[in-house]
Amino acid sequence: MLTTAVDAHVTHILQLNPTYSPLDRVYLTNRVRALCGDASASVPAAADPLTNLDRLVAAAVSAGVIAETHSAQEILGAALMALATPAPSAINAEFWGRYQDSPSAATDYFYALCRANNQVQTRAIAKNIAFTAPSDYGDLEITINLSKPEKDPKDIAAAAKQSAAGYPACALCLENEGYAGRADWAARANHRIVRLSLGGRTWGLQYSPYAYFTEHAIFLDSQHTPMHINAQTFSNLLDLVTLFPHYFVGSNADLPIVGGSMLAHEHYQGGRHTFAMAKAPIATPITLPGYPQVEAGIVKWPMSVIRLTSTNRTALAAAATHILTAWQGYSDPALQIRAVTAGTPHHTITPIARRVDQAYQLDLVLRDNQTSAEYPDGIFHPHPAVQHIKKENIGLIEVMGLAVLPARLKTELAEVEKFLLGQPNAMAPMHRPWAEQLVATQTWTPATAHRQLQQAVGNVFATVLENAGVFKRDAAGQAGFQRFVHTL
C-alpha cells in the first residue's frame, strides 16, 4: 500500500511513462524528492493523482524549496508531471502507430495522456460556468471563463524586473515543448506536440490547456509566422479533416478586431464538437458558376455564412478561394461595407472545415473590420448596447455559436439576479438598462430567475453575433447578400 505522496506520484509516473520500469522506482523517488525537498517524504498520499500533486507542491512551498507564488508552484507541478510524460519522440511514435488502427485511436491516446499529466487543466476547466440558450438559430452555448488563473501580484512584480527573453517567441511556438516556465511565462515542462506535415511544412498538434469544448485541439505552424487566410488555408483545413475526420478544424480571421487574440502565429483550432452553426440549415441555396461539383448556400445564421459542400476537395478549395478573392475586393457602401479605406484592407474570412459522411464541407464567414465614429470598436463588432456582456473580439469559437464570456460576469450576474428579484444588490451600472428592460418585459420569481437570466444572456449573445454579421438578417441586409452572391 502506498502511504506517501512521493510513492503515489512515482506510481503515477510508472503508469503513464513506459520509458520507466519498476526497476526505476528508487531513481524516480530521488528525482521527486530532489524537486520537492526531503520533507515531502513524510507527506501522506492522496488517492487522486492531481490531489497528490498538490500535496507535493504544497510541501515544497512549506519547506521553502520554492517561492509561494503561482508561477513557482506551476513550474514545479509541470516538472513533476514531466517525469510522467514520455519524450516527444516516444509520443509521436505511439501516436502514429495507433493512427494505423484509426485516427480516433491516435487522438484518444494523446488526449488521455494530456489530461492525465495535467497539461490539459481539467480542474481549472471544471470551474467554468456553462449553459445553453435556445435561439432562432439553434441552441447557443455560453461559457463564463473561470479557468485561467488571475496573475499573482508577486509574479507581475518579478516579471517587471526581467528583461524580455524573446524565447519562446510566443505561446504557440514549438519551442514551448518542455519549457520550464518563468514568472511571465506558463510552465510547459509536461507539454508535448505531435508533428505532422501540412502543405509541405511541419506543423504540430497539441491540446489547449484551457479548453472550451471536448478535445479542443490546436494545430500550429512550426515556424513563427503571422496568421493569414488564402488558398493554402483552405487546402490545409481540408488536409486536416482528411487526417482527422472526427474533428472539425477552423481558422481565426487574419485581421485585427475580427481575428483572434494570437495573430502573430499561424494556427488553427479544432476538436470533437458540433457547434450550433454546423447544425444550422441552408436558408438560401446559391449557384456558383464554374463549380458544378460544389453545392452552395447561405446559412441561416446571425453572421454572414456561405456553406460549400463537395466530395471533390480540389473543387471545394478552388470555390472557397474564388469567394475569398471576391469578398476581399467587394464593397456595398449602402450597408457600410467597404473592402478598403485609405489603402487599408478590411475584408477577410473565418473558415471552418468538417466532414459530412464522405463529403467535405466549408463554412465561410464573411468578416469586415472597419471602425467608425459611431462604432470605434468596430462596425461589425459587439455594439455598445451589448458590451456589458461581451465586448471582446468575436473569434472562431464565438462565430460558431459558443460564447466565451469574461469571468467578471460570475459575480455581476449574481447581482443582476438580485435586482430582478427586487432584492438588495450591488449591480454594476452598465447592466441597469438591460436589467430594467428585463423587469419590464418578464415576471421574475426565485424559482425561475436563474434560468431566465441565463436565457437573457443567450439572447444578448445572439445580438452580439448579429452585430458581427456584415449582411444583416433584415430585408435590406439579405438583399445586399444577394448582390454579393451575384458577383460570384
pLDDT confidence of residue 260? 80
Nearest to 435 by CA among 424, 426, 423, 427: 427
Calpha distance 285→218 (Å, rounded) = 32
pLDDT for position 31 = 98
Average pLDDT score over residue span 196-221: 96
Sorting pLDDT into bands at 50, 70 and 90, what band is 158?
Answer: low
Distance between CA atoms of 360 and 17, rounded to whole angstroms?
37
Please state the φ and ψ torsions of residue 284, each to the nearest 5 degrees.
Answer: -140, 110
Long-range contacts formed by 253-256: CB under 8 A, 24+ apart? 253/227, 253/229, 253/348, 253/349, 253/350, 253/367, 253/369, 253/395, 254/226, 254/227, 254/228, 254/229, 254/348, 255/345, 255/346, 255/348, 255/367, 255/369, 256/369
Give the model's pLDDT for residue 3. 87
Alpha helix ranges (H) inside 17-135: 25-36, 49-62, 70-82, 88-99, 103-116, 122-125
Grid coordinates of 57: 507542491
- The pLDDT > 70 percentage for the chain reads 96
Cell of residue 343, nine digits: 489603402
pLDDT of residue 156: 47
Q: What angle do CA 134, 304, 241 make, to 5 degrees?
A: 85
Residue 257 near residue 371 (C-beta atoms within 8 A): yes
Peptide bond into 168 cis (omega under 30): yes
Q: Which residues pair with 132 in a beta bridge?
A: 141
What is the rounded average pLDDT for all residues in the chain? 95
What confidence score (pLDDT) does residue 317 get?
A: 98
Q: What is the average pLDDT across 322-344?
A: 97
Cross-strand partners of 364: 306, 351
pLDDT at 160: 46
Chain position carrying cell 456561405 = 306
**Per-residue pLDDT averaged across 166-179, rounded?**
95
Q: Where are the alpha helices (DSSP H) in 175-257?
A: 231-243
Residue 147 pLDDT: 86
Least confident segment among 258-262, 280-284, 285-289, 422-426: 258-262
The enclosing H or E element of 397 equals: helix 396-399
pLDDT digits (tens, 9 = 90+) for 108-117: 999 999 999 9
- Model confidence pLDDT, tens digit, residues 374-410: 999 999 999 999 999 999 999 999 999 999 999 999 9
CB 78 within 8 A of CB 190: yes
Would you say 225 and 192 are in contact if contact means Cβ atoms under 8 Å apart? no
pLDDT for 107: 98
Largest Cα–Cα separation, the chain: 75
Is 217 within 8 Å of 241 (Cβ atoms)?
Answer: no
**What's the average model confidence in pLDDT over 157-168?**
63
Which pLDDT value is given to residue 150? 54
